[in-house]
């Protein structure tokens, strides 16, 4: 289970670390992360941290109520699973699509490249993407940095990013099925006032709204990029897009010339 940003409290989209899917969104949004090994058909088991906390508080109340009202309390320890609802969930494919969508709507001034992130369930394609889209540009940039007298950092950064990717791959390539009977039963026990105060019903999550707030929260609280800079960032984003397209065209042209040269040697 991956615990992510807040849904409502203290403010929508609040987050204070880069762990899990947060690092994916931040990395993709800044143009650093270009591939993640993830199965687009698997459910992305993610829960907002404020709903998780509300569920913990409510479950503690429920246990106390059981011991207070039951003459012979059940000796079995109750298990409260809190996870994504099967009838209201998103897949890793949905997550990737949404990341690209909001990346274009709310680009960041901290971006170093255009967003070209993809989920690759195939391990061969994933590692080829790492070599050509992560390591190769990092080596070129670090060589340029050394030549102009600056400290090379990108290759070292990618080594850290890949360690993070190895951790999240365990979740992005698998899915689990949990029973939510105790949590759903607990929700029905709460009064309407308590349901508003301690909201944790994953069946009512609006994922489109939440992921938009999540993306904006990462931009605001982790990248320290206020929403007021969005118009400037859009202009910069459009420039990065054309730089990205020009780079692809140059690479394809060089590859074509290389193939024709090799073909000429053997013909």
Indicate the pTM of the whole model: 0.87
pLDDT at 258 (0 to 100): 85
- Residue 64 within any structural domain of the chain: yes
- Residue 137 within any structural domain of the chain: no
Count of CA atoms in the C-beta half-sphere (13 A) of 44: 26
- Residue 164 within any structural domain of the chain: yes
Per-residue burial over 114-146, b = 16 or more CB atoms within 10 Å of its CB, e = otherwise: bbebbbbbeeeebeebbeebbeebbeebbeeee
DSSP 8-state code for residue 135: I
The stretch 68-80 carries a mean pLDDT of 73
pLDDT at 263 (0 to 100): 81
Domain total of the chain: 1
DSSP string, 145-197: HHHTT----HHHHHHHHHHHHHHHHHHHT-------HHHHHHHHHS-HHHHHH
pLDDT at 224 (0 to 100): 93
The stretch 141-170 carries a mean pLDDT of 87
Domain that includes residue 233, residue range: 2-123+154-266
- Residue 249 within any structural domain of the chain: yes
**Is the confidence at residue 193, as pLDDT, over 70?**
yes
- Residue 144 within any structural domain of the chain: no
Over the stretch 216-227, which tens digit does the pLDDT of each residue have? 999 999 999 999
- Residue 223 within any structural domain of the chain: yes
Backbone angles phi, psi at 76, to 5 degrees: -75, 135
- Residue 148 within any structural domain of the chain: no
pLDDT at 164 (0 to 100): 84
Over the stretch 35-57, which tens digit does the pLDDT of each residue have? 999 999 999 999 999 999 999 99
- Residue 132 within any structural domain of the chain: no
């Amino acid at each position: 289970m991956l615990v992510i940003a807040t849904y409502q409290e203290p403010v929508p989209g609040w987050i204070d670390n880069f762990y899990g899917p947060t690092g994916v969104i931040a990395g993709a949004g800044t143009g650093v992360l270009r591939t993640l090994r993830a199965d687009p058909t698997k459910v992305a088991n993610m829960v907002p941290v404020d709903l998780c906390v509300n569920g913990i508080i409510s479950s503690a109340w429920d246990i106390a109520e059981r011991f207070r009202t039951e003459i012979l309390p059940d000796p079995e320890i109750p298990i409260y699973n809190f996870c994504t609802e099967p009838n209201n969930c998103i897949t890793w494919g949905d997550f990737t699509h949404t990341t690209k969508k909001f990346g274009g709507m709310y680009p960041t001034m901290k971006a170093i490249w255009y967003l070209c992130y993809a989920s690759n369930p195939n391990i061969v394609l994933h590692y080829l993407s790492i070599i050509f889209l992560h390591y190769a540009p990092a080596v070129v940039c670090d060589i340029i940095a050394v030549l102009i007298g600056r400290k090379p950092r990108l290759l070292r950064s990618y080594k850290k990013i890949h360690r993070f990717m190895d951790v999240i791959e365990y979740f992005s390539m698998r899915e689990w099925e949990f029973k939510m009977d105790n949590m759903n039963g607990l929700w029905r026990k709460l009064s309407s006032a308590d349901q508003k105060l301690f909201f944790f019903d994953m069946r009512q999550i609006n994922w489109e709204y939440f992921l938009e707030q999540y993306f904006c929260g990462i931009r605001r609280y982790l990248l320290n990029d206020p929403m007021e800079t969005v118009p400037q960032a859009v202009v910069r984003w459009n420039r990065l897009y054309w730089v990205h397209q020009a780079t692809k065209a140059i690479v394809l042209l060089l590859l074509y010339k290389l193939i024709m040269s090799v073909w000429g040697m053997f013909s």
